Amino acid sequence: MLPAAIEYLLTLKDQSGNPVCFMHQFQVIVPNFPPRGNIIYSVAPPTPVRAYILYEYCFGEAMVPHAFNVRITHGPTEVLNAIISGLYTSSRSGIFSVLGKQQPALNVTVSNLTQLAQYYELSTQFLIVTTDDEYKTVIDALRRMHTSKSSETLASQTLDLMKKLSPGAVPAGGF
């Protein structure tokens, strides 16, 4: 089941009736992660893509619990810093990060804490937003999630009507 915000974003269409974002998945698998080894990688949208919206990640069920320390950062924000236990490998975890041309990349640092080679797997689910116009639509929709366009239009019309009926009673910028 998708988070409500993601379901909502998937319903958005551009002026031509095409979806403004698409679901995608990114997976990293290291079948023989070196003992006491580290891997550092970054996730950022490639050039033709405007943004990624990450909403979920999960670790592979075949991973040995407590074998890895994983640190995920998005700019100065630490999204995750944990030793990956069975809880992480048996369930999905929620996240909400917008990675775009103007935002910093998502950085992942993985450390094998054991003396043995281990299996490592991380999957992330995200939406792809391809153009600047689609990005503006998505960001506007996220800002309006607690309201709706129709309620904002109704509020604006009400304010205009109040200004006409009682000039000077309503401040120029509204309430």
Can you say whether the dihedral through the CA atoms of 73, 76, 79, 83 is positive or negative? positive
Per-residue pLDDT tens digits for 127-142: 999 988 999 999 888 8
Phi-psi category of residue 27: left, alpha or beta, with phi > 0 → left and psi -120 to 50 → alpha = beta
The answer to pTM > 0.85 is: no
Radius of gyration over alpha carbons of the chain, in Å? 22
**For the chain, counts of helices (H) and of strands (E):** 4, 8
Q: Check pLDDT > 80 for residue 120.
A: yes
- Rounded CA-CA distance 171/131 in Å is 38
Q: Check pLDDT > 60 for residue 94.
A: yes
CB of 2 within 8 A of CB of 125? no
- Rounded CA-CA distance 130/107 in Å is 21
Mean pLDDT, the chain, integer: 86
What distances in angstroms separate CA 85 from CA 66, 69, 71, 90, 162, one per listed residue? 5, 9, 14, 9, 59
